[in-house]
């Protein structure tokens, strides 16, 4: 079996892949933020390019992570900047300079353009969050149409497909989440395919959102949740699967804390969208060790870019890390790429067709690079 460490960069770049876990605000280019910040005369503590380069979110209370199976770093990372800006802080600044539907269309289009040009991404599913007060005049459908126009332009220009995921802020109440989902259900849109629980996992337990997720399931929406990412327990992932009805899990590293959960995840081949790169720079080695352990346990891990503009990273770079640093085999890498389409929220017939097309394309790519499974 060919080891992934020997896979050429060009192979990883051309490998057809889908990105199923990507936050729209986290895709915004530093150059776009700089332009919009100048337009809005937003006062910032440094040049936007410098701010993006120095994004470094500090971890939660380290006392929570002293006895995990894979040790979580307790000290600062070697590459942490002297002055750090948290991902949340920078995201808030970016949101502040978005002023109209054209801005929303632009950042969606640029997210697809970067995914296409930098990673060869074929399908992209983007999280979007509740509108800030200064954009509420657009209304829900106005904002969604603005996002959708960006996807349509990308489909035309790059031959990609794309969908949107309504983010559910877990720091808010269950009643507020239910209202968000009801708005999605009452205003169906072909580009809004599902919901996803986001924000810091320690800010809200998944069981708070059972009613919202039940309504989404009854409406046929896809369901996912950030889980076992910040809370060092596998229990939240079981809750997301069994009570929320999630059909995939974002992150999930702390499922490794429970052998029985790991066995179930392997047997059920639950899809985990994982990111080797995070704004918590000191945690990057732990993330990569966790993904390696998940792979070794036979779990269905699928690389994602998460917040590629702000980490920064790309989907191709995440596949490269899995190959070069984590040590996935060629067979595992191609399996990840195929799984990324299998776990997508494309309509069933279209999804099956894409999986068949992608599998055939990867077979041809393997033949071109003289790789065998």
**DSSP 8-state class, residue 203:** G
Q: Note down the domain range covering 171.
A: 4-368
Residue 315 is assigned to a structural domain of this protein: yes
Residue 334 placed within a domain: yes
d(CA 131, CA 117): 29
Predicted local distance difference test score (pLDDT) of residue 61: 82
Give pLDDT, residue 297. Answer: 98
Query: Per the domain annotation, does 373 fall within a domain?
Result: no
**For position 251, which CATH number holds?**
3.20.20.140
pLDDT in tens, 19-74: 999 999 999 999 999 999 999 999 999 999 999 999 999 887 888 899 999 999 98
Mean pLDDT, residues 180-194 taken together: 98
pLDDT at 25 (0 to 100): 98
192 within domain boundaries: yes
What was the pLDDT predicted at 1? 39
CA distance linking residue 253 with residue 290, whole number of Å: 6
- Secondary structure of residue 30 in the 3-state scheme: helix
Number of folded domains in the chain? 1
Residue 217 lies in a domain: yes
Label residue 124 left, alpha or beta by phi (over 0 means left) and psi (-120 to 50 means alpha). beta
d(CA 104, CA 97) in angstroms, rounded, equals 11
The model's pLDDT over 206-254, given as tens digits with 9 standing for 90+, comes to: 999 999 999 999 999 999 999 999 999 999 999 999 999 999 999 999 9
Q: Which pLDDT value is given to residue 249?
A: 98
Whether the per-residue pLDDT at 274 is higher than 80: the answer is yes
% of the chain beyond a pLDDT of 90: 93
Task: Label the pairing between strands 192-198 and 161-169.
Answer: parallel
357, part of any domain: yes
């Amino acid at each position: 079996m060919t080891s992934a460490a020997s896979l050429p960069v060009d192979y990883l770049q051309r490998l057809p892949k889908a990105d199923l876990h990507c936050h729209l605000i986290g895709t915004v280019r530093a150059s776009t933020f700089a332009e919009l910040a100048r337009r809005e005369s937003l006062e910032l503590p440094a040049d936007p390019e410098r701010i993006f380069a120095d994004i470094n979110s500090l971890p939660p209370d380290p006392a929570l992570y002293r006895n995990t199976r894979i040790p979580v770093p307790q000290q600062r990372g070697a590459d942490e900047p002297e002055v750090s800006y948290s991902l949340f802080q920078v995201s808030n600044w970016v949101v502040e300079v978005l002023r109209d539907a054209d801005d929303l269309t632009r950042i969606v289009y640029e997210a697809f353009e970067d995914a296409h040009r930098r990673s060869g991404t074929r399908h992209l599913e983007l999280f979007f969050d509740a509108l800030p007060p200064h954009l509420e005049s657009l209304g829900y459908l106005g904002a969604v149409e603005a996002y959708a126009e960006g996807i349509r332009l990308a489909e035309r220009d790059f031959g990609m497909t794309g969908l949107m995921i309504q983010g559910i802020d877990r720091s808010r109440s269950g009643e507020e989440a239910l209202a968000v989902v009801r708005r999605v259900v009452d205003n169906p849109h072909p580009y809004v395919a599902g919901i996803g629980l986001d924000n810091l996992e320690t800010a809200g337990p998944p069981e708070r959102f059972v009613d919202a997720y039940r309504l989404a399931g009854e409406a046929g929406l896809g369901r996912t949740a950030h889980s076992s990412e910040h809370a060092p327990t596998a229990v939240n992932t079981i809750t997301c699967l069994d009570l929320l009805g999630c059909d995939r899990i974002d992150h999930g590293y702390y499922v490794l804390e429970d052998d029985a959960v790991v066995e179930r995840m392997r047997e059920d081949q639950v899809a985990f969208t994982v990111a080797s790169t995070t704004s918590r720079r000191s945690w990057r080695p732990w993330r990569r060790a966790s993904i390696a352990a998940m792979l070794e346990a036979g779990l269905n891990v699928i690389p994602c870019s998460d917040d590629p503009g702000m980490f920064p990273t790309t989907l191709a770079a995440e596949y490269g890390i899995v190959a070069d640093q984590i040590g996935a085999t060629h067979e595992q890498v191609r399996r990840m790429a195929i799984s990324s389409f299998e776990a997508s929220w494309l309509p069933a017939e279209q999804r099956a067709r894409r999986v068949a097309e992608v599998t055939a394309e990867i077979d041809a790519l393997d033949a071109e690079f003289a790789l065998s499974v």
